[in-house]
Structure 1
Amino acid sequence: MSLAPNRHIAAAAPHLLAPTDLKRLTTGEVSDPHALLGPHLRSDGVTVRVLRPLADGVCLTTASGELLAELAHEGEGVFSGVLPGREVPDYRVAAHYGEHVFTYDDPYRYLPTLGELDLHLIVEGRHEQLRQVLGARTCEQESGWGRAHGSSFAVWAPNARAVRVVGDFNHWDGRAHPLRSLGESGVWELFVPGVGDGCRYKFELLTPAGDWVQKADPMAASAEPAPGTASRIFTSDYTWGDGDWLAARGATTAEQAPMSVYEMHLGSWRPGLGYRELARELPAYVKALGFTHVEFLPVAEHPFGGSWGYQVTSYYAPMATLGTPDDFRCLVDALHQAGIGVIVDWVPAHFPRDAWALARFDGTPLYEHPDPRRGEHPDWGTLVFDFGRTEVRNFLVANAVYWCEEFHIDGLRVDAVASMLYLDYSRAEGEWLPNQYGGRENLDAVELLQEMNATVYRRCPGVVTIAEESTAWDGVTRRTDLGGLGFGLKWNMGWMHDSLSYMNEDCVHRQYHHHAMTFPMVYAYAENYMLPISHDEVVHGKGSLLTKMPGDRWQQFANLRAYLAFMWAFPGKQLLFMGQEFAQDAEWSHERGPDWAALRHAPHTAVRDLVRDLNRTYLEEPALWSRDADPAGFRWIDADAAQDNVFSFVRHDASGAPLVCIYNFQPTARHHYRVGLPVAGNWTEVLNTDAAAYGGSGVGNSGRVTSEHVPWQGLEASASLVLPPLSAVWLRPQ
């Protein structure tokens, strides 16, 4: 833009700023920039003041470019002038930098984008849709002359002395864009016209110590791909196609429905695939194997890939290395349309110390607890959220809701719940701070988890929350109104540990560890359980699931097949980590992912086929899932055959129909082995993991069994069976 010499119009002399106000503007230490900048009605006209620190000159124009006035330089990049009249015109600011002119709409002529109700809810810690008011979001503001398009920047930083926004739109120089403080809410806000999607930005905060620090937006909807650390403005325009799925998913509770979960790390399942490519490949693979759900290791932004997502830096942004938030929506949508539910790992227990993220966000312990005895995690080198602070609790609860509502997530697996519940978790005597009653329970964390669960279940019908909780805390899956934490399911870490320890024993020693397999039934109905063979069991030198099995190569595969069948039949939902569905040899590496080359070998494809058939049979047999939370749905036939290494039990569906499951964890076949059965007559051999199709020896009962009216093991009938070596046999009455 150039201005003809005969069009120069000098504005009237303005009311000059007091030296202290001028200094506040030029140093950036200003909490009320709108009181000093922008248009202000005076008795002699409209004073307009602009802050452009590096400009050679500044003038005001109309929206069409017609010159209104030149502004005088008050000093230090502050320009001002007075326009005649009693009304503020629809002006634009034209800043001159040598021969270049930058024209923009003045941010300081707009009202706040947050209303009084929003601020009240933030102060109360009850704003369940926090992402709609904080962070950076594109919006329209009424200017008095029509709607202005731009972006609202809002951040909670109650202890900051000043806040500015820096980004692509101001060449990362925030001096011209200080935010205003919205009082006791601790929120700082600014509407910047003309700034839209894709723009990178950060907040620049003046700490109480007088240092300027740049921080990624805690509420960012999108992040810059690593190694960049900026936030991005993003507005979704995705059109969902999963309406039927959402309408149907709340028909039954999780404990009464089938749930077979394929856990996976998105970045390494097939390295190089983004969300859109995964949307084309993953649903068909999971569907072919018969899993009802997938569970993703954390997908919130985490620049360090080696954390697998468990050190989150942007809680509201899907990881950018795999695509945009709408690309992630596409993946969830594709899975839903294939009939597959989506669970994501959620990490509210702790966060990393990265200087550009949440740590000491406004120069003080803000998101983390200020006392290191509660605010630092000794094992992971991370910071622990201040669960008792209302705004922090609101940040986390609203985040859980956000993933469920914005991305149609069907479940949240909550990581490291035990570390949240106990104040002395991984701490020696004297290293932890008791609660107000002198106890070790973290009462603030309890209240957070209860509020999160109650809010998610109220707002998101059909969503299930799942606790990774490894202790005997009472009531993890009890309703919050009955004093419980309110989760839908809990990972059964005891079952996982005991069953794997049994399977790891050489077969000749298993008789001495027999009750490691039966003991989990003592507490099987204390909670609603999920049986997890997760990523944690196949990393850090633990080997793969296959290599945990004893014996020669054939026995390892046979042990694994029988163990998987034991897992699928035991009360509780099941979860299996990627790569274990085809018995890969190597433990998992986030850099390589699953060893797909193993599928060139028959024993591995046979295990994959078994997993497919386990899932198919599981869905066909309500006895295996409909009464997981009901003790009447399970009965031991023989829990004490330790010398035989044999286990047998019966599962019942809601109508009482039985499915009998028999396991021989000895590498020799047993002939004429009598087992009690609920009824006499013909039975079908539904599953035999020793079948030749699964790489077994082909020993079995020719597909059918006839039971006699011979009472045995407390049941009215029995049959003489062949138990194949290292095998599982499932029987169903015809």
Structure 2
Amino acid sequence: MSARPPSRNSSVPDGPRRTSDTGPGRRQSAAPPPRTGASHGVRAARPLADGDRERLLAGAHHDPHALLGAHSVRGGMELRVLRPFARSVTMLAKGLRAELHEDGDGFFSGVLPLRTAPEYQLLVAYDSGETSDEASDGDAGDASDGNRARIEIEVQDPYRFLPSLGELDLHLIGEGRHEELWRALGAHPMTHQGVTGTRFTVWAPNAQGVRVVGDFNYWDGTGYPMRSLGSSGVWELFLPGVGEGALYKFDIARPDGSHTLRADPMARRTEVPPANASIVTESHHVWRDDEWLARRADRTVHESPLSVYEVHLGSWRPGLTYRQLAVQLPAYVKDLGFTHVELMPVAEHPFGGSWGYQVTGFYAPTARMGTPDDFRHLVDALHRAGIGVIVDWVPAHFPKDDWALAQFDGRPLYEHADPARAAHPDWGTLEFDYGRKEVRNFLVANAVYWCEEFHIDGLRVDAVASMLYLDYSREQGEWTPNEHGGRENLDAVGFLQEMNATVYRRCPGVVTVAEESTAWDGVTRATHHVGPGGFGGLGFGLKWNMGWMHDSLGYVAHEPVHRKFHHNEMTFSMVYAYSENYVLPISHDEVVHGKRSLVSKMPGDWWQQRANHRAYLGFMWAHPGKQLLFMGQEFAQGAEWSEGHGPDWWLLDPSYAAEADHRGVRDLVRELNTVYAATPALWQRDTVPEGFAWVVGDAAEDNVFAFLRHAADGSPLLAVSNFSPVVRHEYRLGVPDAAQAWTEVLNTDAARYGGGDVLNPDPLKPESVASHGRPGSIQLTLPPLATVWLRPV
């Protein structure tokens, strides 16, 4: 049997080394000792049964530890080793050196006259791949070895170790209730029975056998079969000497006997795509955000300011690493006054063009910008700047890559067994089987993982509607009703309820946000409160208000002369504003694929487009609900977003002729956030009707909207938007107090924002003239295409 070429990679702990290698446990014998196991008290072991031998070599044995390693037998202790390509194997123990018999196919065995198994190591000899006269030290091998130099390495035997996964872990996995699943499954550096190495565990209940392969064994797992831990479906192997930085995968024998090479579903670090191996890792980051976490738990998100800047990390400043982003992003976001960033998916994904929404590594931040600890450093930096971090989380589907989750162990495992239920009709992906307890556990624990391991403050759950409905994007006859004859996916409902309840229980101060585009009742209702439809609430903290987004963008896209015919598109949101706890999203989805950027949706010339843009943002920030704005829209980028180049930062370069136009919009966004944060009326009662009152909602001919926002103590803010291109002088609006003057605190037409500077510079004194159902009123000048905020002096 020929020897494998020795590795020159110093990170490989268990492979042949050249004579120039140094370090403990490495030796070379140029003239191998005679192979006389019997003279050392080693007698032949009983041969393996043919079936066991074949299954071990095929990687299809469920219990290799029962055959390999040391076992008591009549007359002594039997030791069996599987070391493909080895020339000899010798057992080393205190006061003992015993060479094993070669049994062929890489097997070595022997029976030693011992009552119990001692702590032992293996001295494994390989051909070096060189003839003796080529060897660096000039030593020669004997003629019987073909004049080959010999390399010997001293290693631990993985098959002398007890299982390294506890019974409680297995019980919780079996129940589908292991809330810290990432601590049980995957690859974990550890010390086990006094020896350092890595524990590998994977859930593959349909596999005939599983082997660990990696750069530590030349990607040949023949000598590294894992053991099945019973009905849990979990396979385990502790590999001594393997540590951080090692690359690995699982070689799975499918039920039909064929093999598939898979990345670890629980991998916490991966190679940089398109490479897809998993990497052994553990965190060494020292968090410095204790003050942030302590304050976060004291806040109620519904009664706090929440202004979100949505970011695609890979293209915000293309080419930056997590650590470089940690310098630039917190400073930029803090300067603009946003309270949170929302990161488009950071979990590992093979195709950058998916923007992260087709995930293969649910437990690993993408390696494109650095290591998991580098990502922790970014989150830490944002927290220390006073900025919360929300991440997009994608439990709705996963791609079909043959090295990832699809038919992971040869049969549908993470996906639904029914192909019609498994295939996502829109995205060419697979839907999770939410009815399988282990899959539900995988996802619930994943949500907790991001919050606990990376200190994430919120999860925005993508594509919730596609999860909730069995007929989502399916025609009649392409879906099967649930047990009650309905279209609701009851398994998905149960999963979302469990996820939300678990996250809120374990992670104080964290908020979950649903991207849900239908009228499903109770998205943000508590899970224990049953609604009219008979379902408990889904338990989310917030929900994206997709209706407001579509209606309001539709309104402002019309020429002002036509807006009166669409006036209700701006007022209809208040009919249902308190049915859920809402976020108003102008997200990445609205500025790609031909939809145009926000400013480019606006009608008119460049001045009018920017004025519309500013007026819209002023209306949005004053409207009940939290707000979210995608990067680039804060400075009125004219082009659609592309993940290839990101925002057009050059628009803000002083050398650009129209730089002031874009900088003015960004200055407005900063002022919106500043006044918003300082005005409880704009956020303290977002979710109750008492926080809002129309002053005038029916001025369709004028294209004017005016409403009051109220804080918990009753202090008001008056917001007025004029979406017509004409100045309206002495425009009368009713106010609640006939004795209180009002002053302008924000005007989107101010010259410093790029407007015409039509202002109300002096306090507006009320008159005892009833208007809009109120005893007093004020008269003010409404600038064209602008929003004005006023509050009592």
Q: TM-score, normalised by structure 1?
A: 0.98
Q: Quick check: 2:341–2:389 contact (8 Å CA) kept in 1?
A: yes
The offset of 1:660, in angstroms, is: 0.2
Aligned ranges 1:299-310 → 2 under 5 Å? 299-310=346-357
Distance 1:186 1:508 in 2: 66
Alignment identity in percent?
65
Q: What's the secondary structure of 1:335's corresponding residue?
A: helix
Aligned ranges 1:35-74 → 2 under 5 Å? 35-62=66-93, 68-74=97-103
State whether structure 2 residue 637 is matched by structure 1 residue 584: yes
Distance 2:667 2:93 in 1: 72
Count of residue correspondences: 728
Q: What's the secondary structure of 1:238's corresponding residue?
A: coil
Deviations along 1:55-113, one digit per CA (max 9) or x if unpaired, are 122111248xx861111112211110122221212211122211222321011011111
User: What residue ranges of structure 2 are gaps of 5+ in the alignment?
Assistant: 1-26, 128-149, 530-535, 654-658
Aligned ranges 1:19-98 → 2 under 5 Å? 19-62=50-93, 68-98=97-127
Deviations along 1:450-489, one digit per CA (max 9) or x if unpaired, are 0000000000000000000000000000001111000000
- Name which of 310, 323, 331 aligns with 1:276: 323
Deviations along 1:507-529, one digit per CA (max 9) or x if unpaired, are 00000000100000000000000
Question: Which residue of structure 2 lines up, in the alignment, with residue 692 of structure 1?
Answer: 751
Distance 2:123 2:219 in 1: 19
Report the AA paired with residue 631 of structure 2: M
Distance 1:91 1:478 in 2: 60
Deviations along 1:382-407, one digit per CA (max 9) or x if unpaired, are 00000000000000000000000000
The offset of 1:324, in angstroms, is: 0.4
State whether structure 2 residue 693 is matched by structure 1 residue 642: no
Q: Quick check: 1:8–1:67 contact (8 Å CA) kept in 2?
A: no
- Name which of 664, 677, 681 aligns with 1:606: 664
Distance 1:361 1:109 in 2: 29
Question: Which has the higher Rg, Structure 1 or Structure 2?
Answer: 2
Aligned ranges 1:285-296 → 2 under 5 Å? 285-296=332-343
Distance 2:734 2:754 in 1: 28
Q: Quick check: 1:59–1:67 contact (8 Å CA) kept in 2?
A: no
Aligned ranges 1:387-402 → 2 under 5 Å? 387-402=434-449
Aligned ranges 1:509-588 → 2 under 5 Å? 509-588=562-641
State whether structure 2 residue 303 is matched by structure 1 residue 256: yes
The offset of 1:2, in angstroms, is: 3.9
Q: Quick check: 2:60–2:257 contact (8 Å CA) kept in 1?
A: no
Deviations along 1:103-154, one digit per CA (max 9) or x if unpaired, are 2101101111111111111111000000001001111111xxxx11010000
Distance 1:321 1:726 in 2: 43
Report the AA paired with residue 51 of structure 2: T
Deviations along 1:560-586, one digit per CA (max 9) or x if unpaired, are 000000100000000000000001010
Distance 1:366 1:374 in 2: 13
- Name which of 348, 356, 359 aligns with 2:395: 348
Q: Quick check: 2:546–2:584 contact (8 Å CA) kept in 1?
A: yes
Report the AA paired with residue 290 of structure 1: G
- Name which of 122, 126, 145 aligns with 2:173: 122
Question: Which residue of structure 2 lines up, in the alignment, with residue 363 of structure 1?
Answer: 410
The offset of 1:8, in angstroms, is: 6.4
- Name which of 715, 718, 727 aligns with 2:774: 715
Q: TM-score, normalised by structure 2?
A: 0.91
Report the AA paired with residue 122 of structure 2: V
Distance 1:560 1:523 in 2: 25
The two structures, once aligned, show a CA RMSD in angstroms of 1.2
Distance 1:506 1:368 in 2: 48
Aligned ranges 1:490-509 → 2 under 5 Å? 490-509=543-562
Distance 1:648 1:281 in 2: 38
Question: Which residue of structure 1 lines up, in the alignment, with residue 218 of structure 2?
Answer: 171
Aligned ranges 1:202-281 → 2 under 5 Å? 202-281=249-328
Distance 2:298 2:185 in 1: 34
Q: What's the secondary structure of 1:561's corresponding residue?
A: helix
Q: Quick check: 2:668–2:753 contact (8 Å CA) kept in 1?
A: yes
Distance 1:286 1:718 in 2: 39
- Name which of 573, 595, 601 aligns with 2:648: 595
Q: Quick check: 1:207–1:363 contact (8 Å CA) kept in 2?
A: yes
Distance 2:199 2:33 in 1: 37
Distance 2:28 2:151 in 1: 9
Question: Which residue of structure 2 lines up, in the alignment, with residue 668 of structure 1?
Answer: 726
Deviations along 1:142-172, one digit per CA (max 9) or x if unpaired, are 1xxxx11010000000000110010011110
- Name which of 732, 741, 745 aligns with 1:682: 741
Q: What's the secondary structure of 2:498's corresponding residue?
A: helix
The offset of 1:284, in angstroms, is: 0.5
Question: Which residue of structure 2 lines up, in the alignment, with residue 192 of structure 1?
Answer: 239
Distance 1:612 1:394 in 2: 42
Distance 1:23 1:672 in 2: 93
Question: Which residue of structure 2 lines up, in the alignment, with residue 109 of structure 1?
Answer: 160
Question: Which residue of structure 1 lines up, in the alignment, with residue 499 of structure 2?
Answer: 452
Distance 1:486 1:151 in 2: 38
Question: Which residue of structure 1 lines up, in the alignment, with residue 380 of structure 2?
Answer: 333
Distance 1:103 1:303 in 2: 38
Question: Which residue of structure 2 lines up, in the alignment, with residue 701 of structure 1?
Answer: 760
Q: Quick check: 1:297–1:308 contact (8 Å CA) kept in 2?
A: yes
Report the AA paired with residue 633 of structure 2: Q
The offset of 1:252, in angstroms, is: 2.5
Q: Quick check: 2:302–2:581 contact (8 Å CA) kept in 1?
A: yes
Q: What's the secondary structure of 1:169's corresponding residue?
A: coil
Q: What's the secondary structure of 1:704's corresponding residue?
A: coil
State whether structure 2 residue 187 is matched by structure 1 residue 136: yes
Distance 2:556 2:419 in 1: 41
Distance 1:330 1:337 in 2: 10
Deviations along 1:174-230, one digit per CA (max 9) or x if unpaired, are 000000001110000000011000000000100112111000000001001111110
Q: Quick check: 2:212–2:251 contact (8 Å CA) kept in 1?
A: yes
